[in-house]
Structure 1
Amino acid sequence: MDASHARYPFLDAAREAVGAAGVDLLSLVQEDHPAVDRGRERVERALVAGTVETDRRVTPRVEVLSYPVARVLVSLLEVPGAVEKYAAAEAATAYERLSEEFSGTRPGGATLALPDLLGEFGLDDEVREAADGYRVRVGTYLRLAPGGEGWALVRRDLASGTVGVTRAELHELLRRAVEERVAAGLPLDVPDPIASALDSTARDVERALSSRNYPRSFDADPTSEAFPPCIEHLLAAARDDDDLPAHSTFALVSFLARVGMSDEEIRALTGRDGEAFGYALERLASEGGTYAPPSCATMQALGDCVNPDDLCATISHPLEYYAEEL
């Protein structure tokens, strides 16, 4: 199991590496292998922060093995929308990593080429390079395209059964393909011995989610006057048309949705159209604020905690700040 498998544990090569290693999931759990704790963290961060990135050093073997553990854990949770949120978080993390790969900005060089990924998802005959970007067969485009006005066929370059997309748009389609791959088969039918062994860990995840002390809803109309500094910073960046990372987009849109804004209100406030924020609006805002924004600790770890004030020192979540300022 190598670094590439750890970065993309949903790919066939990673699954085959696990199979070749002869790893027994029940033995991992019974031995309290580090992959179990990382799998728990993977699920918690997915459901709270919209990412499966970790702040600690983890070996490739532990990282790869944490993926099947996480799939079992999320199947055992009694949390509404857990599977969908988990798959979206895995896809969001993969999207950032793949963008580095394909743009040539990954430290140490690329480990995965675009043609290989297209082949992995059976898209090598569905996508072809063109002079101005890529052409995608219309059926595949409709299956993978996010919602939003900018993705509607009536606004696209449609010719000979294919749709024209930019490189960035192709990456968005691949994000959706990853989400499909991760969600496939979930929730799992977990064998009783494994379910029993992981039951306490699954309940720990549920308690961690339910014990978070930020408000679940707000009665008052949403107001930007109560926004914490981190959200004000991300909002300003969005209005300046900055290329926000996926985790920053998640933090901003999930916060705005949780305080009661509709997708139309978020578009108006950020100045972004449906195409720019389409994926986030579809997956976050349209769910009525179901997705929890990241905690302050996660915002700090990802570099989104900017200009903290005195109140920030007393709270642990941006929604706590908002509730205090209302």
Structure 2
Amino acid sequence: MKITLEKVHGSMNTFYMIDSDERDDYGDLALQLCEIDQGVDGLLVILPSKSADAKMRVFNRDGSEASMCGNGLRCVARHVCEKLGIEQAVIETMKADLTVRREETLMDGIETYSVQISPVLFDLKALPMEYGNQSTLIQQVIPEISQDIQFSAVAVPNPHLIGIVPKDIQKSPEHQKKWAKKFNGENDYFTDGVNVSYVTKLEEGIFVRTFERGVGFTNACGTAMTASALISCMSGLVPYGEVAVYNPGGMVKCTVDRNGDDIKLLLTGNATRLSEHEFNWSKDKAESGFTASRNLDEQRRYEKFIKEISVVVEQFA
């Protein structure tokens, strides 16, 4: 079967994207695409929705399905808004219908979209996480991991464990890799795995590196960046409001508004189209493969943006 794909990215969190109908084997397609192209993090599927302008499903490199993807949602937002000729839309995700909209560009020529990140859940059952008899984990040392790093757990709705670390730990990701791999294997804390992010304060905002469940270290994870901005505000690392969040793939803006228990999160960043493809999809992966491809020119503009912020990002390379 021949299908049409777009290759897209948000903050270099890169995906193939298909606009199609509901079926039960998109996980298999994600596995095939990620085996052929080691540079992608998964598959975005755009589907009809009964409650919104469109529905998004997200499949990781290992074929598992994620609840949400903030970077991927921006790319889906652009596709849906351009297809329908609108500036704002509502996208159905696994846990919520989320508002998305086109925004003022981060830099000339870079299509920019904001997406709502919701719900925000601190109850450890929502991740799920087991930690003694606690119902939440906020700005707390986990002695098994470190006597110095304070961790917080939050679901948005993807599960995240976020540690605030100094620059020397951020520059050498071995500590993060060790515990992220443990928590995404057989362990007593996270039965379904977890996204693990380390956050470091900058003059300009924060830097975030994420080990993503089902993926590994990634250039960026949208829900992780937003959750990290939230925890950074709650810990007093940065003030509430708009937070510049740098990552190995670039920079996004996360807006954190809080009024008591009411928390509103917004993720704003690029939605870049890299290429268009025709793909022959077969259950026999030996018969699957790309039959035609066309590169687009948008990445050149994004690389100019990366160059401008490189002095911030490269200190953690």
More strand per residue: 2
TM-score > 0.5, shorter chain as reference: no
TM-score interval w.r.t. the shorter chain? under 0.3
More helix per residue: 1
Question: Which structure has the bigger radius of gyration?
Answer: 1
